[in-house]
Protein backbone atom coordinates (compact mmCIF):
# COMPACT_ATOMS: atom_id res chain seq x y z
CA UNK A 1 0.00 0.00 0.00
CA UNK A 2 1.34 3.42 -0.95
CA UNK A 3 2.24 5.59 2.09
CA UNK A 4 0.22 8.78 2.46
CA UNK A 5 3.43 10.82 2.52
CA UNK A 6 4.34 9.51 -0.93
CA UNK A 7 0.79 10.11 -2.21
CA UNK A 8 1.01 13.71 -1.00
CA UNK A 9 4.28 14.17 -2.89
CA UNK A 10 2.68 12.76 -6.05
CA UNK A 11 -0.15 15.29 -5.84
CA UNK A 12 2.21 18.14 -4.99
CA UNK A 13 4.66 17.39 -7.83
CA UNK A 14 2.12 16.23 -10.43
CA UNK A 15 3.74 12.88 -11.22
CA UNK A 16 3.12 9.30 -9.98
CA UNK A 17 5.76 7.54 -7.94
CA UNK A 18 7.73 4.74 -9.54
CA UNK A 19 9.38 3.64 -6.28
CA UNK A 20 9.82 4.77 -2.71
CA UNK A 21 11.62 3.79 0.50
CA UNK A 22 11.44 4.84 4.12
CA UNK A 23 14.62 6.45 5.43
CA UNK A 24 15.81 5.53 8.91
CA UNK A 25 16.90 8.85 10.38
CA UNK A 26 20.12 9.10 12.40
CA UNK A 27 18.80 12.26 14.04
CA UNK A 28 16.83 12.70 17.23
CA UNK A 29 13.45 14.03 16.11
CA UNK A 30 10.56 11.85 14.96
CA UNK A 31 9.88 13.25 11.51
CA UNK A 32 8.73 10.83 8.81
CA UNK A 33 11.38 10.53 6.06
CA UNK A 34 11.09 8.94 2.60
CA UNK A 35 12.94 8.90 -0.68
CA UNK A 36 10.88 8.69 -3.85
CA UNK A 37 11.50 8.34 -7.59
CA UNK A 38 8.74 9.79 -9.75
CA UNK A 39 7.77 8.80 -13.27
CA UNK A 40 8.97 12.18 -14.56
CA UNK A 41 12.50 11.32 -13.31
CA UNK A 42 12.48 13.45 -10.18
CA UNK A 43 14.33 11.88 -7.24
CA UNK A 44 13.28 13.52 -4.00
CA UNK A 45 13.64 13.35 -0.25
CA UNK A 46 10.40 13.81 1.73
CA UNK A 47 10.27 15.13 5.28
CA UNK A 48 6.88 15.20 6.99
CA UNK A 49 6.46 16.78 10.43
CA UNK A 50 4.52 14.52 12.77
CA UNK A 51 5.06 14.71 16.55
CA UNK A 52 5.57 18.13 18.16
CA UNK A 53 7.83 20.06 17.82
CA UNK A 54 8.60 18.51 14.42
CA UNK A 55 5.77 20.19 12.43
CA UNK A 56 6.94 23.66 13.39
CA UNK A 57 10.55 22.67 12.70
CA UNK A 58 9.58 21.65 9.15
CA UNK A 59 7.90 25.04 8.67
CA UNK A 60 10.98 26.79 10.04
CA UNK A 61 13.16 24.86 7.61
CA UNK A 62 10.97 25.87 4.66
CA UNK A 63 11.40 29.53 5.65
CA UNK A 64 15.18 29.07 5.59
CA UNK A 65 15.06 27.53 2.10
CA UNK A 66 12.99 30.54 0.99
CA UNK A 67 15.78 32.88 2.13
CA UNK A 68 18.97 30.93 1.32
CA UNK A 69 20.35 28.65 -1.35
CA UNK A 70 23.81 27.32 -2.08
CA UNK A 71 25.90 24.21 -2.76
CA UNK A 72 26.15 23.60 1.01
CA UNK A 73 22.45 22.67 1.28
CA UNK A 74 20.02 20.44 -0.65
CA UNK A 75 18.02 21.92 -3.50
CA UNK A 76 14.49 22.91 -2.50
CA UNK A 77 11.71 21.35 -4.60
CA UNK A 78 8.34 21.96 -2.93
CA UNK A 79 6.46 22.50 0.32
CA UNK A 80 2.92 21.84 1.52
CA UNK A 81 1.71 23.13 4.87
CA UNK A 82 -1.00 21.62 7.04
CA UNK A 83 -1.30 19.60 10.21
CA UNK A 84 1.66 17.48 8.98
CA UNK A 85 3.74 19.87 6.85
CA UNK A 86 5.67 18.25 4.00
CA UNK A 87 9.05 19.47 2.75
CA UNK A 88 10.36 18.07 -0.55
CA UNK A 89 14.10 18.37 -1.24
CA UNK A 90 16.54 16.83 -3.66
CA UNK A 91 17.65 13.31 -2.82
CA UNK A 92 21.32 13.60 -1.90
CA UNK A 93 22.14 9.97 -2.66
CA UNK A 94 24.58 8.71 -3.55
CA UNK A 95 26.45 10.41 -0.76
CA UNK A 96 28.57 9.31 2.17
CA UNK A 97 27.48 10.07 5.70
CA UNK A 98 30.30 10.11 8.28
CA UNK A 99 31.56 8.62 10.50
CA UNK A 100 34.08 7.34 9.79
CA UNK A 101 35.85 10.60 9.01
CA UNK A 102 38.19 10.01 6.08
CA UNK A 103 41.16 12.18 5.07
CA UNK A 104 39.87 15.50 3.73
CA UNK A 105 36.38 15.20 5.26
CA UNK A 106 36.92 17.63 8.13
CA UNK A 107 38.47 20.14 5.74
CA UNK A 108 35.45 19.77 3.45
CA UNK A 109 33.08 20.53 6.33
CA UNK A 110 35.11 23.56 7.36
CA UNK A 111 35.07 24.80 3.76
CA UNK A 112 31.29 24.35 3.61
CA UNK A 113 30.87 26.23 6.89
CA UNK A 114 32.91 29.05 5.40
CA UNK A 115 30.50 29.16 2.45
CA UNK A 116 27.55 29.11 4.81
CA UNK A 117 28.96 32.02 6.80
CA UNK A 118 29.38 34.19 3.69
CA UNK A 119 26.10 33.23 1.97
CA UNK A 120 23.67 36.03 1.09
CA UNK A 121 20.33 35.93 2.88
CA UNK A 122 17.25 37.06 0.95
CA UNK A 123 14.91 37.91 3.80
CA UNK A 124 14.92 37.87 7.57
CA UNK A 125 16.13 35.05 9.79
CA UNK A 126 16.26 35.12 13.60
CA UNK A 127 19.42 36.53 15.14
CA UNK A 128 21.33 34.31 17.50
CA UNK A 129 22.13 37.15 19.89
CA UNK A 130 18.40 37.91 20.29
CA UNK A 131 17.53 34.37 21.38
CA UNK A 132 16.96 33.70 25.08
CA UNK A 133 19.88 31.51 26.11
CA UNK A 134 19.61 28.59 28.50
CA UNK A 135 23.01 27.52 29.73
CA UNK A 136 24.99 27.86 32.94
CA UNK A 137 22.44 30.41 34.16
CA UNK A 138 19.86 27.59 34.23
CA UNK A 139 22.29 25.31 36.07
CA UNK A 140 22.87 28.06 38.65
CA UNK A 141 19.13 28.49 39.14
CA UNK A 142 18.49 24.73 39.54
CA UNK A 143 21.66 22.63 39.74
CA UNK A 144 20.01 19.30 40.60
CA UNK A 145 19.38 18.01 37.02
CA UNK A 146 23.01 18.77 36.14
CA UNK A 147 24.44 17.30 39.34
CA UNK A 148 22.40 14.16 38.78
CA UNK A 149 24.52 13.47 35.68
CA UNK A 150 27.58 12.82 37.82
CA UNK A 151 29.99 14.86 35.70
CA UNK A 152 30.75 17.31 38.56
CA UNK A 153 30.31 17.22 42.30
CA UNK A 154 28.41 19.97 44.09
CA UNK A 155 31.71 21.30 45.46
CA UNK A 156 33.33 21.36 42.01
CA UNK A 157 30.32 23.15 40.56
CA UNK A 158 30.35 25.73 43.35
CA UNK A 159 33.98 26.56 42.58
CA UNK A 160 33.66 26.54 38.80
CA UNK A 161 30.27 28.15 38.27
CA UNK A 162 31.29 31.83 38.66
CA UNK A 163 34.03 31.40 36.04
CA UNK A 164 31.74 29.46 33.66
CA UNK A 165 28.97 32.04 34.03
CA UNK A 166 31.40 34.87 33.32
CA UNK A 167 32.82 33.19 30.23
CA UNK A 168 29.35 32.34 28.94
CA UNK A 169 28.23 35.93 29.44
CA UNK A 170 31.23 37.24 27.49
CA UNK A 171 30.81 34.86 24.54
CA UNK A 172 30.32 36.78 21.31
CA UNK A 173 27.16 35.61 19.53
CA UNK A 174 26.40 38.69 17.46
CA UNK A 175 27.38 38.83 13.79
CA UNK A 176 25.99 38.85 10.28
CA UNK A 177 26.87 35.32 9.14
CA UNK A 178 24.39 32.62 8.27
CA UNK A 179 24.55 29.81 10.83
CA UNK A 180 23.23 26.26 10.55
CA UNK A 181 23.19 25.93 14.37
CA UNK A 182 23.04 22.13 14.45
CA UNK A 183 26.24 20.89 12.80
CA UNK A 184 27.01 17.23 13.50
CA UNK A 185 27.54 14.11 11.41
CA UNK A 186 23.87 13.07 11.16
CA UNK A 187 23.15 16.50 9.64
CA UNK A 188 25.76 16.42 6.87
CA UNK A 189 27.04 14.26 4.05
CA UNK A 190 29.99 14.23 1.67
CA UNK A 191 29.26 14.26 -2.05
CA UNK A 192 31.80 14.72 -4.84
CA UNK A 193 34.32 16.12 -2.36
CA UNK A 194 31.91 18.66 -0.89
CA UNK A 195 30.04 18.73 2.41
CA UNK A 196 26.28 19.31 2.24
CA UNK A 197 24.36 20.17 5.41
CA UNK A 198 20.77 19.10 6.05
CA UNK A 199 18.13 19.93 8.69
CA UNK A 200 18.17 23.73 8.50
CA UNK A 201 15.29 24.40 10.88
CA UNK A 202 17.49 25.99 13.57
CA UNK A 203 19.31 28.41 11.22
CA UNK A 204 20.14 31.83 12.64
CA UNK A 205 22.33 34.85 11.89
CA UNK A 206 25.32 35.50 14.12
CA UNK A 207 28.99 34.76 14.83
CA UNK A 208 30.37 32.24 12.30
CA UNK A 209 32.54 30.60 14.98
CA UNK A 210 29.36 29.30 16.64
CA UNK A 211 28.80 26.58 14.03
CA UNK A 212 32.38 25.36 14.31
CA UNK A 213 32.34 25.33 18.11
CA UNK A 214 29.10 23.39 18.43
CA UNK A 215 30.26 20.79 15.90
CA UNK A 216 33.38 19.88 17.87
CA UNK A 217 32.05 17.76 20.77
CA UNK A 218 30.28 15.34 18.44
CA UNK A 219 33.32 15.28 16.13
CA UNK A 220 35.58 14.31 19.05
CA UNK A 221 33.16 11.52 20.00
CA UNK A 222 33.59 10.15 16.47
CA UNK A 223 37.39 9.95 16.84
CA UNK A 224 38.03 13.37 15.36
CA UNK A 225 40.46 15.96 16.76
CA UNK A 226 40.02 17.45 20.22
CA UNK A 227 38.08 20.75 20.22
CA UNK A 228 41.09 22.72 21.43
CA UNK A 229 42.74 22.50 17.99
CA UNK A 230 40.15 24.63 16.14
CA UNK A 231 40.79 28.08 17.58
CA UNK A 232 37.30 28.67 19.01
CA UNK A 233 38.07 28.20 22.72
CA UNK A 234 36.28 31.47 23.51
CA UNK A 235 32.98 29.64 22.96
CA UNK A 236 33.84 26.49 24.92
CA UNK A 237 31.97 27.54 28.08
CA UNK A 238 28.96 28.51 25.97
CA UNK A 239 28.91 25.09 24.29
CA UNK A 240 29.33 23.26 27.59
CA UNK A 241 26.57 25.33 29.20
CA UNK A 242 24.12 24.42 26.45
CA UNK A 243 24.55 20.70 27.12
CA UNK A 244 24.83 21.14 30.90
CA UNK A 245 21.43 22.81 31.04
CA UNK A 246 19.70 20.10 29.00
CA UNK A 247 21.30 16.68 29.42
CA UNK A 248 19.74 16.06 32.82
CA UNK A 249 16.19 17.03 31.87
CA UNK A 250 13.42 14.58 30.92
CA UNK A 251 13.50 13.78 27.18
CA UNK A 252 11.12 15.73 24.95
CA UNK A 253 8.33 13.68 23.37
CA UNK A 254 9.45 14.52 19.86
CA UNK A 255 13.11 13.53 20.46
CA UNK A 256 13.21 10.75 23.08
CA UNK A 257 16.89 9.81 22.49
CA UNK A 258 18.44 13.25 22.54
CA UNK A 259 19.39 13.51 26.24
CA UNK A 260 21.90 10.66 26.09
CA UNK A 261 23.66 12.27 23.16
CA UNK A 262 23.66 15.64 24.91
CA UNK A 263 25.32 14.00 27.93
CA UNK A 264 27.99 12.44 25.71
CA UNK A 265 28.72 15.85 24.18
CA UNK A 266 28.80 17.46 27.63
CA UNK A 267 31.44 14.94 28.66
CA UNK A 268 33.64 16.37 25.88
CA UNK A 269 32.62 20.03 26.11
CA UNK A 270 32.96 20.47 29.88
CA UNK A 271 36.63 19.38 30.07
CA UNK A 272 37.29 21.52 26.99
CA UNK A 273 35.77 24.56 28.72
CA UNK A 274 37.73 23.85 31.89
CA UNK A 275 40.99 23.60 29.94
CA UNK A 276 40.20 26.85 28.11
CA UNK A 277 39.45 28.65 31.38
CA UNK A 278 42.20 27.09 33.50
CA UNK A 279 39.70 25.33 35.77
CA UNK A 280 40.48 22.05 37.49
CA UNK A 281 37.96 19.22 37.83
CA UNK A 282 40.04 17.62 40.62
CATH number, domain containing residue 190: 3.90.1200.10
Pairwise CA distance, residues 156 & 152, whole Å: 6
Residues 137 and 77 in one domain: no
Residues 126 and 168 in one domain: yes
CB 24 within 8 A of CB 34: no
Owning domain of residue 245: 105-277
Q: Whole-angstrom Cα distance, residue 223 to residue 105?
A: 13
Q: Are residues 258 and 131 in the same domain?
A: yes
Domain end among 90, 114, 138: 90
Cβ-Cβ contacts under 8 Å for 132 (sequence gap 6 or more): none
C-alpha–C-alpha distance, residues 4 and 34, integer Å:
11
The reported pTM is 0.92
Structural domain tally of the chain? 2
Task: Indicate the pairing of strand 76-80 with strand 204-206.
Answer: unpaired
Helix, strand, coil percentages (3-state) for the chain, rounded to 5, are: 45, 15, 40
Q: What is the pLDDT along the chain (282 residues), one digit of tens a residue?
A: 889 999 999 999 999 999 999 987 665 556 679 999 999 999 999 999 988 788 999 999 999 999 999 999 999 999 999 999 999 999 998 899 999 999 999 999 999 999 999 999 999 999 999 999 899 999 999 999 999 999 999 999 999 999 999 999 999 999 999 999 999 999 999 999 999 999 999 999 999 999 999 999 999 999 999 999 999 999 999 999 999 999 999 998 767 889 999 999 999 999 999 999 999 877
The pLDDT value recorded for residue 111 is 98
Amino acid sequence: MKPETVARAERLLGSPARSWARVASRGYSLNDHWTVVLENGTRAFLKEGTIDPSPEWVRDEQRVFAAVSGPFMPRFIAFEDGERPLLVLEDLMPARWPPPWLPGDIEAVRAALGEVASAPIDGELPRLADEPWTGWNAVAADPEPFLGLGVMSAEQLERALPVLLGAEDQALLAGDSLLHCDVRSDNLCLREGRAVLVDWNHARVGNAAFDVAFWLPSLALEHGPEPDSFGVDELAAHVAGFFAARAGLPPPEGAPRVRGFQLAQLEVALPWACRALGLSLE
